[in-house]
Amino acid sequence: MIKAVLVMNTQGKPRLAKFYEFQPVEQQQEAIRNVFSVLCTRPEHVSNFVDAESFFGPDSRLVYKHFATLYFVFIFDSSENELAMLDLIQVFVETLDKCFRNVCELDIVFNYSKMHTILDEIILGGQVLETSSTEVMRAIEEIARLDAASNAINLVPKSVSGWRSR
């Protein structure tokens, strides 16, 4: 099971933090600080896999990928494969790139809800739903189409008084 997904910049500011197991906000903030302290001290040429038991409990692993100014981090337990999680990060980033044409930190800041929607199409309740960025994009495009249709319906003017004329 996936325990959390974090996206943070190189200064340690979380740009997305989604926890799939309940933790009080203070514990979430502490976990984010601990993850960043581990990531910022790691040399570039070492493995992207880290033992996360000290801050996420027993049987916890962390995998991350560093793209430009962002760290993409997945925390999970032993029921998940480390290489599959690394690949899932790649699917997430590829999907973001397709949505925003070379995603950057500002895209994430200004399109926060879209980023959550993308993540929800990939992972729901800590379980992997979809591993194809093409399928995720289809779902995102369908959601956008339905949203546009819903907004168009809401723009139809209603009678001012609510009474019918005779």
DSSP the chain: -EEEEEEEETTS-EEEEEESS---HHHHHHHHHHHHHHHHHS-TTS-SEEE-HHHH-TTEEEEEEEETTEEEEEEEETTS-HHHHHHHHHHHHHHHHHHHTS--HHHHHHTHHHHHHHHHHHEETTEE----HHHHHHHHHHHHHHHHHHHHHHTSPPPSSSSPP-
pLDDT at 158: 57
pLDDT at 128: 93
Q: Which domains does the chain have, with CATH numbers?
A: 2-154 (3.30.450.60)
pLDDT at 103: 81
pLDDT at 5: 96
Q: What is the pLDDT along the chain (166 residues), one digit of tens a residue?
A: 999 999 999 999 999 999 998 889 999 999 999 999 999 888 888 888 988 888 788 889 999 999 888 999 999 998 999 999 999 999 999 999 988 887 888 888 898 888 999 999 999 999 999 999 899 999 999 988 888 887 777 665 555 555 554 4
pLDDT at 156: 55
